[in-house]
Structure 1
Amino acid sequence: MKAIGIDLGTTNSVISRYDEGRSAATVLTNGEGEVLTPSVVAMRSRDGKESLLVGRTAVNYAGRQPQNTIVSVKRLMGRDYADPAVVEARDRLAYPIVAGPDEDPRAHVMLSDRRYRPAEVSGLILKKLKQDASRFVGDEVTHAVITVPAYFHDSQRAATRDAGHQAGLIVKKIIDEPTAAAIAFGMDAGQERRRILVYDLGGGTFDISILNMVKGTQGHGQFQVLDFHGDSWLGGDDFDLAIVERIVEWVKAECGVDPSGDRQFRYLAKAAAESAKRQLSQVQEADIIIPAAFRPDDGGPLVDVEMTLTRDEFNAMVRELVDRTMRLVKEALNRQSLERDDITDVLLVGGSTLTPLVYQTVESFFGAGKVRRDINPMECVALGAGLLAGTMQGVECPQCGKSNEDTAAVCESCDASLAGAQPLQAPVIYEVTGMALGIGAVKGTQRDIFVPIIPRGTPYPLAEPRRKSFNATDGRRIRVPVYEGDNPVASRNNEQGVIEFELPQDIGAASRVDVTFNYDSDRIVTVLISVPGTDMAKETTLRTDTRRTPPPDQEKEDDAATVREQLTYTISDAHRFLDSYGEFVQEHQTMKIRRDIDQAQHVLNFGDTPECRRMIALLRQDMYSSGIASQFLLAERAADGAPPQLARDINAAVASVQRSYRGGNTEQAAEQARLLKALVARVFVQRSVPGGDDLNRDGLLEVSEEYLPRYEG
């Protein structure tokens, strides 16, 4: 097995491998003899034939057809087309960013006439890196550790893993870039304990990680991630774009034309901006010269750009971006109740930290003596990944001590769980979740509540899964959107995927549902949906290609008069529900339904359409989450229109359950209720019940720590 470490960057990527003889990692050169491989893919058209270009050759060709050259694709990984960051990128980037096919919500890019997922484009970059590394080491590379920004969401990590598979790599681990940099630093850090802050400003992302580090007995060390923070849409690209806007303003002032909408011009301007930014790291001013940069639509003369940008001007342009990074640094320290003096070492990572304003600002805050500028900010992430790739030789069973494959879930010797098992020889890394993971649910009158199941700051892999209980409402088809974030409003967090399932017909529509999350060492979420006391269980990983869950105010607007009519009927139904089955409803639930009816009547008289729609949903939720009374309501709808004999059987079963409940014989009532559910299920399967479609809408999950108590007469 040949394994490498890969720093898959926004602008450039780097590969490294572990040299066992030297007990160190080394950076490898690519096929062009360079350490940095541009993260660029282009489609070249020549003599009617098309060919893909990756890396330096793609950069060299890009000026001819910027619309067929994909740059900064890392910024699009795992993002939806409707993501505000993607909306912004559509205006900034020269190539087309389009919606996915059918109901796939993810952003795609166009190369020539073909649509690609960003993971496919990154897969092409990784494939080149794999081939270059294989030529360098003289044997096929099969495995890799790939780095990602610490603040990448789980959907972005999943897209990165997918890209590795696209390249034909077995991904041993996805590791955070700051953690990889800390591992590289730890090779020479000595024996003492250190508390490290990693300031990682790359081409497209900004991360802060705070870690405790102790040098290990085997020389590789132990790393405990305390917290991470950042912005996955802040990096050197934004520095470049600030210069691009300055170039646009120069053209407007000097030539009287506006080139900002021309994709070719923007590509050429960005390339010039990158060059100027690098120059200004060394000198006080840079000349920006772009011959034949723009041809106006009115047929006017070609526009040449010849301007000078000083370091002071550049600093003024990007100061707010740098200040933003420091605000995030302070937030990260505050979240851990740390002062700047509690940090022993600050690591500057990423090419953008070579900008003088950046490192001077960090040194001013922490003190120049703590800022370790002796590590290579462009290579240290890859070096840490390479060290990890070369030293991960399996995991040790915590019960019997036997070695197992990295990917094993249970020990092959004793069948003990390997959750939380430590890797053999490799650096020991204790990681935590940077954001909470949970689902969108209903709570009281609020229909867009985020319910955390794995709280922020939870160490992973989990020793045991985390579970919460809910009540299914509104229908038999249940849709569970999974979110990552810390906002109490679910739709304001990042939707990581959706799980959809159908309640079997023998399970009541208002049944309790358990939602269980497991989180492994690669931050892959496995979700188990189950109904206690039944065989119903659905375990799955998240689907990221399904339609997203719109927040309530984004749902399709119905005609106002129709909605008011629906609310009138729903109020009447709720009154009749209490009149018919009120004795079987818990007292506190009865009071709630009556309050909701009063509120619905007020909304009907004075409220707007969204409030009417909310009250319709609330009253329906009341009627279908009231224990055995809800079963009677379902039975009533089933009997209406069922074949005569089946209708008589349903009515008889209802009468039997009611007699048993009134008589206090709860065990007999429970058995009879199971028979009633089976009879009702037969009708719904036949689809012959008036109003049955109303019971088959996408369902919701209502927050409930315990199942609704049984009726006690």
Structure 2
Amino acid sequence: MKAIGIDLGTTNCAVTRYDEARATAAVLANGEGETLTPSVVALRRRDGDESLLVGRTAVNFAPRQPQDTILSVKRLMGRDFADQVVAQARSRLNYEIVAGSDDDPRAHVVMGGRTHSPAEISSMILKKLKKDASRSLSEEVTHAVITVPAYFHDSQRAATRDAGTQANLVVKKIIDEPTAAAVAFGLELDQQDRRRVLVYDLGGGTFDISILHTAKDKEGNAHFQVLDYTGDSWLGGDDFDNTIVGRVIEDIKEKCGVDPAADKKFLFLAKNHAEAAKRQLSQLPEADILIPAAFRPDTGGPLVDVEMTVTREEYDAMIEPYVDRTMALVQEALSRQNLSAEDISDVLLVGGSTLTPKVYETVERFFGKAKVRRNINPMECVALGAGILAGTMQGVECPSPKCRKSNEEDATACAACGEGLASARPLDAPVIYEVTGMALGIAAVKGTQQDTFVPIIPRGTPYPLPEPMRRSFHTTDGRFIRVPVYEGDSAVASQNNEQGVVEYELPKQVDVNSRVDVTFNYDADRIVMVRISVPGTDMVKESTLRTDTHRTPPPEPETTADDEAGWREELVRTEAETRRFLQTHEQFIEPAQAMKIRRDLDQAQQALNFSDNAECRRMTNVLSSDLFGSGIASQFLLAERAADGAPPEEARKINEAVGNVRRSYLSGQREAASEQARILKMLIARAFQARDVAEVPDEEAHGGLLRLLDE
């Protein structure tokens, strides 16, 4: 078994291997003799033939076929097509991003007219890294430790693991990038030396912060305890480059009166020259940008040359908002732990963008220059930490205090005593105590709010869990039970990140009104096991959530091909009605529900902008649920419909009942308002029945969601 460490970066990758004799890791050169491999994949077409390019060759070929060149795919890993980050990527990146299929909501990319998942693209990069490492070591590489940003959701980590598997690698561990950097730094710690470390990781496309306790015990074993982390998925050196590209575009517009912003070939050229200027400005007071024949106007005029100079002072001013954003996140992470800059003993600068003077000088001013460690290569330290783990993880130790026997890494139970190994620690490797960065829970009904997020594993919980965590619920709609699992910190479930759905029906012998327990367990690989049970019975449903597989979508009305074409028009109508509903009745809607409706309206607008029929259909159903699932406000909407066209006396009674409910609610008499709402509901039902309306939308239909028991 030969194991390597892989820093699978947004813009560049690095590979390391562990040297047992020296007890350290070293960076391996790739097939081109470079220590960094660009995270870029391209499809070259020539004379009817196609060939796949990965790394530097893909970067060099990109200006010829930018639409078939995939870069920054890490941003899309494990994300739904409807995700806000995906919407940003669609507006910024040169290639097409689409939904996988009707039953797969994840974002996919199009290359050469074929659709690929981000995990597939990442596996192409990993295959090259594996091949180059095997050639360098003269031995087949089989195992790897792969790094990811600390704030990656479970679905993104699962997609990364899947990419490794597709590249024929056994993924020993998925480790957070800041933690890997801290492992590399930990080699320098003295015995029993305790530090509180903040890792400031500003890479090409993402920003990470982690706060850790580090120490060495009497035996010299390094221990790392993660306290907190946060980050931004769209903040990094790419933003610095783009500010320079924007400056180049403005220079062309000013001098030539033409706008090259829509020319993808020009944008690639400008981006490459901007990167070179950025590196030069880290060393010199100014940088010249010279791009001969950079752009040909649509009007057919002469080729436009770029010749301009950017000074360090101008560059610092351009990137200042991004640097300020990083420091705001630093202060947010510190405040969550009730820490100040004085409480941090060491600051590790990680990522190539920390070589920018504006960046490291800002960090030094905040923490004090003496605390900022710049003695480890920021471009390599993440990979070095991964390499150390890859080389030192040699099996796992049984967690039972009476046993402590060693077992193979892939064992699920101790061979000596049978104890489960979900919470086992690796042998010999640095000991890492990790925590959940966000809460993990389910969507459930609480009061009248049916999109409530109920945490089961709170944020900041150390894992693997010593024992499962549980919450209790009641059923709402009968025997069908639907448990959508989310990760996040919002009180509104749908504003968090869906991790999967568990569905089942209660057996006939189980009473519908029985208590239902939902139990979560979290292993060392951040894979969650969901267990749903009815106390006092043998009814148990267990499911391992791996969100790299297709999810179970909520039930939707059956449609025909003819119906599909009309969903855009239906969404336009429903969106307008929902906006009017929110504007008219917001004072009667719970704040969390009102927040959800606004978010749903934003997503509906995105679906309309992109004219995606499947997404238009989904958002029409979501908004309809908002209209008829918002408690008293929904009753007012139904009252408007019931009174419209009803006989005058019936309309008068309905409007009078509406007035009674409104007055009681606004005066704080909630019990009276609830009783009057029941009278209103009865009047509405009678009005619809008199007009032969077959079905009336019912705000009490919760689609199988559980109701929180201990509310």
**TM class, shorter-chain normalised?**
0.7 to 0.9
What is the aligned partner in structure 1 of residue 380 from structure 2?
Answer: 379
Instruction: Give deviations 1:481-531, integer Å, cap 9, x for gaps.
Output: 211111111112222222233333444444432211111111111212222
Instruction: Report how far residue 227 of structure 1 moved.
Output: 1.1
Structure 2 counterpart of 1:704, from 672, 695, 709 = 709
- 5 Å matches for 1:124-273? 124-191=124-191, 192-273=193-274
- Over 3 Å counting, the alpha-carbon distance change for 1:592 and 1:132 in structure 2 is same
Residue type of the alignment partner of 2:458: P
Residue type of the alignment partner of 2:394: Q
Instruction: Report how far residue 303 of structure 1 moved.
Output: 2.6
Residue type of the alignment partner of 1:167: A
State the distance in 1 between where 2:640 and 2:142 align: 61
- Over 3 Å counting, the alpha-carbon distance change for 1:280 and 1:602 in structure 2 is farther
Residue type of the alignment partner of 1:203: G
**Are the aligned partners of 1:195 and 1:212 in contact in 2 as well (CA < 8 Å)?**
yes
Instruction: Report how far residue 397 of structure 1 moved.
Output: 1.2
Instruction: Report how far residue 182 of structure 1 moved.
Output: 0.6
Residue type of the alignment partner of 2:517: D
Aligned residues: 602
| More deviation, 539-548/259-268 | 539-548
Instruction: Give deviations 1:390-423, integer Å, cap 9, x for gaps.
Output: 0001111133121112232321110012233221
State the distance in 2 between where 1:505 and 1:245 align: 65
**Are the aligned partners of 2:502 and 2:552 in contact in 1 as well (CA < 8 Å)?**
no
What is the aligned partner in structure 2 of residue 278 from structure 1?
Answer: 279
**Are the aligned partners of 2:480 and 2:505 in contact in 1 as well (CA < 8 Å)?**
yes
Residue type of the alignment partner of 1:77: M
**Residue 422 of structure 2 corresponds to residue 422 of structure 1:** no
SS at match of 1:393: coil
Identity of aligned residues (%): 67
What is the aligned partner in structure 1 of residue 330 from structure 2?
Answer: 329
**Are the aligned partners of 1:564 and 1:604 in contact in 2 as well (CA < 8 Å)?**
no
Instruction: Report how far residue 548 of structure 1 moved.
Output: 6.2
State the distance in 1 between where 2:537 and 2:180 align: 45
- Over 3 Å counting, the alpha-carbon distance change for 1:480 and 1:51 in structure 2 is same
Structure 1 counterpart of 2:551, from 522, 546, 549 = 546
State the distance in 2 between where 1:439 and 1:76 align: 24
**Residue 522 of structure 2 corresponds to residue 519 of structure 1:** yes
What is the aligned partner in structure 1 of residue 396 from structure 2?
Answer: 395
State the distance in 2 between where 1:597 and 1:267 align: 65
**Are the aligned partners of 2:150 and 2:178 in contact in 1 as well (CA < 8 Å)?**
yes
**Are the aligned partners of 1:567 and 1:604 in contact in 2 as well (CA < 8 Å)?**
no
- Over 3 Å counting, the alpha-carbon distance change for 1:503 and 1:257 in structure 2 is farther
> Cα RMSD (Å) of the superposition?
2.7
Structure 2 counterpart of 1:449, from 448, 452, 458 = 452
**Are the aligned partners of 1:94 and 1:266 in contact in 2 as well (CA < 8 Å)?**
no
SS at match of 2:338: coil
SS at match of 1:198: strand
State the distance in 1 between where 2:189 and 2:417 align: 38
SS at match of 1:332: helix
- 5 Å matches for 1:287-436? 287-399=288-400, 400-436=403-439
**Are the aligned partners of 1:40 and 1:55 in contact in 2 as well (CA < 8 Å)?**
yes
What is the aligned partner in structure 2 of residue 665 from structure 1?
Answer: none
SS at match of 2:101: coil
State the distance in 1 between where 2:682 and 2:320 align: 53
- Over 3 Å counting, the alpha-carbon distance change for 1:85 and 1:430 in structure 2 is same
**Are the aligned partners of 2:204 and 2:237 in contact in 1 as well (CA < 8 Å)?**
yes
Instruction: Report how far residue 271 of structure 1 moved.
Output: 1.8
State the distance in 2 between where 1:54 and 1:505 align: 56
**Residue 673 of structure 2 corresponds to residue 599 of structure 1:** no
SS at match of 2:394: strand
Instruction: Report how far residue 100 of structure 1 moved.
Output: 1.2
What is the aligned partner in structure 2 of residue 21 from structure 1?
Answer: 21
5+ residue gaps, structure 1, are 570-590, 607-614, 622-697, 707-713
- Over 3 Å counting, the alpha-carbon distance change for 1:501 and 1:255 in structure 2 is farther
**Residue 638 of structure 2 corresponds to residue 564 of structure 1:** yes
Residue type of the alignment partner of 1:492: Q
State the distance in 2 between where 1:463 and 1:33 align: 46
Instruction: Report how far residue 76 of structure 1 moved.
Output: 1.1
**Are the aligned partners of 1:566 and 1:616 in contact in 2 as well (CA < 8 Å)?**
no
Instruction: Report how far residue 75 of structure 1 moved.
Output: 1.0
**Are the aligned partners of 2:80 and 2:86 in contact in 1 as well (CA < 8 Å)?**
yes
- Over 3 Å counting, the alpha-carbon distance change for 1:185 and 1:47 in structure 2 is same
Instruction: Give deviations 1:244-276, integer Å, cap 9, x for gaps.
Output: 222222222222122222322222222222121
Instruction: Report how far residue 196 of structure 1 moved.
Output: 0.8
SS at match of 1:173: strand
- 5 Å matches for 1:683-702? 698-702=703-707
SS at match of 2:315: helix
Instruction: Give deviations 1:443-469, integer Å, cap 9, x for gaps.
Output: 001111111000011000001111111
State the distance in 2 between where 1:533 and 1:17 align: 53
State the distance in 2 between where 1:470 and 1:373 align: 52
SS at match of 2:159: helix
What is the aligned partner in structure 2 of residue 664 from structure 1?
Answer: none
SS at match of 1:105: strand
Instruction: Give deviations 1:652-711, integer Å, cap 9, x for gaps.
Output: xxxxxxxxxxxxxxxxxxxxxxxxxxxxxxxxxxxxxxxxxxxxxx311111139xxxxx
- Over 3 Å counting, the alpha-carbon distance change for 1:443 and 1:616 in structure 2 is farther
**Are the aligned partners of 1:30 and 1:133 in contact in 2 as well (CA < 8 Å)?**
yes
Instruction: Report how far residue 440 of structure 1 moved.
Output: 1.1
State the distance in 2 between where 1:59 and 1:279 align: 20
**Are the aligned partners of 2:527 and 2:546 in contact in 1 as well (CA < 8 Å)?**
no
State the distance in 2 between where 1:175 and 1:162 align: 15
- Over 3 Å counting, the alpha-carbon distance change for 1:10 and 1:592 in structure 2 is same
**Residue 50 of structure 2 corresponds to residue 50 of structure 1:** yes
State the distance in 2 between where 1:218 and 1:233 align: 41
- Over 3 Å counting, the alpha-carbon distance change for 1:523 and 1:459 in structure 2 is same
What is the aligned partner in structure 2 of residue 502 from structure 1?
Answer: 505
SS at match of 1:261: coil
Instruction: Give deviations 1:22-77, integer Å, cap 9, x for gaps.
Output: 11111111111110011110101122111111111111111211111111111111
State the distance in 1 between where 2:305 and 2:507 align: 69
**Are the aligned partners of 1:2 and 1:142 in contact in 2 as well (CA < 8 Å)?**
yes
| More deviation, 293-302/84-93 | 293-302
- Over 3 Å counting, the alpha-carbon distance change for 1:318 and 1:547 in structure 2 is farther
- 5 Å matches for 1:565-584? none
- Over 3 Å counting, the alpha-carbon distance change for 1:605 and 1:14 in structure 2 is farther
What is the aligned partner in structure 2 of residue 111 from structure 1?
Answer: 111
Instruction: Report how far residue 204 of structure 1 moved.
Output: 1.5
5+ residue gaps, structure 2, are 557-595, 601-618, 629-633, 644-668, 685-695
SS at match of 2:44: strand
What is the aligned partner in structure 1 of residue 4 from structure 2?
Answer: 4
Instruction: Give deviations 1:85-121, integer Å, cap 9, x for gaps.
Output: 1111111111111121222111111111111111111
SS at match of 2:536: coil
What is the aligned partner in structure 2 of residue 32 from structure 1?
Answer: 32
Instruction: Report how far residue 279 of structure 1 moved.
Output: 1.3
TM-score normalized by the length of structure 2: 0.80
- Asked which structure has the greater CA Rg, the reply is 1
State the distance in 1 between where 2:467 and 2:156 align: 24
State the distance in 2 between where 1:20 and 1:566 align: 76
State the distance in 1 between where 2:367 and 2:671 align: 59
